[in-house]
Chains A and B, each alone.
Chain A
Amino acid sequence: MNEVAEERSEARPALEVADLSFAYDRKPVLEALTLAIAEGEFVVLLGPNGAGKTTLFSLITRLHDSRHGEVRIGGFDVRRQAVQAHARIGVVFQQPTLDPDLSVAQNLDYHGALHGMSRREASSRAEAQLARIGLAEQRRTRVRRLSGGQRRRVEIARGLMHAPRLLLLDEPTVGLDIASRRDLVEHAHQLCAEEGVAVLWATHLIDEVRPGDRVLVLYRGRLLADGPAETLSERLGVDTLGEAYDRLVGEENA
């Protein structure tokens, strides 16, 4: 990586999406989506199931491609500069993606290797991440024996091993109990504050939004609102974010 490129990445937003559209079988899933997320910003992508959240994540991570629109990570185009762009993204997918038969350390080593790390480098980075989430003791434990909340935290630790500038989490609290859910939301905010990593947190659960979070409301592939949680309800003249959300979605359906 040369220094010019490095500088460019520092100056640009962690994520830029410009005029992005996508369709499955001619059925539009995302329509002309435009948004930007700054370094170290915590953004909640709120929308019901089927709003297009997972599709947006697939396009950002280039599991799919769209010929309409552009996605940039730290200034790097995911299509034309895939290597640089991918190196700056950490992902926690909706489905669990840890290998249950392998140990925590083996899973993390695999991820490190996929990012071109030597075994030693992967191991030291994994150790640092595991220490932070309080699972250093469980390094040799098989993933199968961890709780759902622990697995999720390991997946977040994995997503941060290569020091990305943008962390994508696709409904990471699915299947967790209330306490684990709260811990996970707390954990992600902490990361954002401490590491300066930008977080895009997709959810359909309004109670995962905290005061101060920037909220994007996605509905049927279109962005209905973008702003801090408080101003959103103020603007619509309602008391809570829940009402604001209902209002937005209701108007859309009318």
Chain B
Amino acid sequence: MRPTPWLHCLRGVVGRELLRFLHQRSRFLAALVRPLVWLFVFATGFRMALGVAMTEPYQTYILYEVYIVPGLVGMIQLFNGMQSSLSMVYDREMGSMRVLLVSPFPRWYLLICKLLASTLVSMVQVYVFLAIAWAYGIQAPALGYLFLLPALLVTGFMVGALGLLLSSLIRQLENFAGVMNFVIFPMFFLSSALYPLWRIREGSYLVYQIAALNPFTHAVEMIRFALYERFNMEAVLISVSVAAILLALAILGYNPSRGMMARKGG
């Protein structure tokens, strides 16, 4: 096939995702209100209890609000990725997933298009959130907002691929609520999104070890460093590798003969 049909396919999938997003205003509002509540309510309260000491990549003592912004960016992407795969489960029941999968393009390409589409939607949410935070006074260096882009792409693919993989394993919509509880919350709370790792270590060594192994921690650190114009090699390598592994597993999960689709009848 020539390259242009592939681009048309990508345009179609991304265009549809953006249109759906625009039509679901309540989803956009919820996606925005959630991190803002954390920022304005939770962080304000905790600022009194938890001053954050100087820690990389920050060059001065920072307020707690400043610390949790990258974690909340990760949270937006985590929820969006899971919601997008929730819609995959829903779509599959409604049948529009089938429309995607009977396209003549290879399945791996279709799934990557779908992931890219949901990642772009999450980027829109993130930048709107950061604009509000900026107006509130939480301002990162200008270039940081640019360096953030590739970090968001990697995180979006990581959580999106995880969601896809889960959606290939779960057939019933009801089961997905369980996934929210057993995947989203642990991933978010057992990470460096809310507290620096060294502080978690002071509290509990076990929780610290889990948080250090959690790929979401590395995604959040990648985002944090990028926003402050720094490159955290370790975080980037781990995040990219985890994203690649999850993507490969998700593609395998949607393979008609080897994956779960064949066994469960999708």
Contact A114 B99 (CB under 8 A): yes
Contact B256 A65 (CB under 8 A): yes
Contact B104 A116 (CB under 8 A): yes
Contact B104 A86 (CB under 8 A): yes
Q: B76-107: contact bitstring with A at CB < 8 Å (1 yes, 0 no)?
A: 00000000000000000111101111111110
Inter-chain CA distance A105–B1, complex, in Å, is 26
Identify which of A55, A63, A106 gathers the most chain B CB atoms within 10 Å of its CB: A63
Stretch at the interface among A95-103, A193-201, A203-211: A95-103
- With A63-B261, A102-B20, A102-B23: A86-B103 Cβ-Cβ less than 8 Å: yes
Contact A67 B257 (CB under 8 A): yes
Task: Specify which chain A residues have a CB less than 8 angstroms from the CB of B98 in the assembled complex.
Answer: 61, 63, 91, 93, 97
Inter-chain CA distance A83–B234, complex, in Å, is 40
- With A113-B13, A114-B100, A116-B9: A96-B20 Cβ-Cβ less than 8 Å: no
Q: Is B37 an interface position by the 8 A CB rule?
A: no
Task: Specify which chain B residues have a CB less than 8 angstroms from the CB of A117 in the assembled complex.
Answer: 5, 8
Contact B4 A83 (CB under 8 A): no
- With A65-B257, A65-B262, A97-B95: A82-B101 Cβ-Cβ less than 8 Å: no
Contact A61 B12 (CB under 8 A): no
Q: A64-87: contact bitstring with B at CB < 8 Å (1 yes, 0 no)?
A: 111100000000000000111111
Contact B102 A64 (CB under 8 A): no
Q: Is B150 an interface position by the 8 A CB rule?
A: no
Inter-chain CA distance A82–B19, complex, in Å, is 29
Contact B23 A114 (CB under 8 A): no
Interface size on A, residues (CB 8 A): 40
Task: Specify which chain A residues have a CB less than 8 angstroms from the CB of B106 in the assembled complex.
Answer: 82-83
Task: Specify which chain B residues have a CB less than 8 angstroms from the CB of A115 in the assembled complex.
Answer: 5, 103-104
State how many angstroms separate the Cβ of B186 from the closest Cβ of chain A. Answer: 32
Q: A217-249: contact bitstring with B at CB < 8 Å (1 yes, 0 no)?
A: 000000000000000000000000000000000
Task: Specify which chain B residues have a CB less than 8 angstroms from the CB of A99 in the assembled complex.
Answer: 16, 20, 96
Contact A87 B99 (CB under 8 A): no
Inter-chain CA distance A55–B99, complex, in Å, is 16
Contact A64 B8 (CB under 8 A): no
Q: Is A41 an interface position by the 8 A CB rule?
A: no
Q: In the complex, which residues 227-255 of chain B have their Cβ closer than 8 Å to any Cβ of chain A?
A: none
Q: Is A147 an interface position by the 8 A CB rule?
A: no
State how many angstroms separate the Cβ of A64 from the closest Cβ of chain B. Answer: 5
Q: Is B6 an interface position by the 8 A CB rule?
A: yes
Task: Specify which chain B residues have a CB less than 8 angstroms from the CB of A55 in the assembled complex.
Answer: 265
B interface with A by C-beta (< 8 Å): 1, 4-6, 8-9, 11-13, 15-16, 19-20, 23-24, 93-96, 98-106, 110, 256-257, 261-263, 265-266
Q: List 20 A-B contacts (CB under 8 A).
A: A24-B263, A61-B98, A61-B102, A62-B256, A64-B262, A64-B265, A87-B104, A91-B98, A91-B102, A93-B98, A96-B95, A97-B95, A102-B16, A102-B20, A102-B23, A109-B12, A110-B15, A113-B11, A114-B105, A116-B8
Supply 4 further A-B pairs (C-beta < 8 A) apart from A62-B256, A99-B96. Answer: A91-B98, A95-B93, A97-B95, A99-B20
A interface with B by C-beta (< 8 Å): 24-25, 55, 58, 61-67, 82-87, 89, 91, 93-99, 101-102, 106, 109-119
